[in-house]
Amino acid sequence: MMRSGNRDMRRMLDRMGLDMKDLGSVEEVIIRTDMKEIFLKKPQVVEMKGKDSTIFQVIATDIEETNRDVPSFKEEDIVLVMQQANVSKEKAIVALTDTKGDLAQAILNLTV
C-alpha cells in the first residue's frame, strides 16, 4: 500500500513510461454501446499516455443512461442493398439506417 499517495504513484507511472495529466474542465463523456448510451456529466478525466497507447480514467457521480433505438432490417433487404450497390453488409446497414429503411434511397445514396 502506498503511503505517500500521489508522489509514489507519479514515480511508479514514470518508471512505467506513462505520462499522466488531468484534462481539466470536461463537460461530458458519452459511452455508446449497441443497446444504450451512458452520459457522464462533469466527470474528472485523467489521461495517461504511454509509448503505444493512451488510457483515460473517468470518474463521475452524475450518470444518466438511455436505451438506444436499434433499427432492425430484414436480411433480404440488406442483401438487396448489398447486391445492387455492390457494398459490404456494414455499409448497407448504415445506408438503410440513414434512410430509415428506404431501400431505393439507400441504393441511390451508395451508387451516386
**What pLDDT tens digit does each residue of the chain (112 aa) get?**
445 667 887 788 778 888 888 998 899 999 998 789 999 999 999 998 888 889 899 999 999 999 987 677 899 999 999 999 999 999 999 999 899 889 999 999 999 8
Residue 107 has a pLDDT of 94
Q: Which CATH class, in words, describes the domain spanning 6-67? A: mainly beta
Domain chopping of the chain, boundaries: 6-67, 75-111
Residue 2 has a pLDDT of 46
- With beta carbons less than 8 A apart as the criterion, state whether 41 and 5 touch: no
- With beta carbons less than 8 A apart as the criterion, state whether 45 and 57 touch: yes
Q: How far apart are CA 93 and CA 87, in angstroms?
A: 10
- The set of cell numbers assigned to 76 is 433480404
Beta strands in 50-99 (DSSP E): 54-59, 62-67
Residue 24 has a pLDDT of 87
Q: How far apart are CA 42 and CA 83, in angstroms?
A: 46
Nearest by Cα to 32 from 57, 58, 68: 68
Beta strands in the chain (DSSP E): 19-22, 28-32, 36-41, 44-49, 54-59, 62-67
- The set of cell numbers assigned to 51 is 509509448
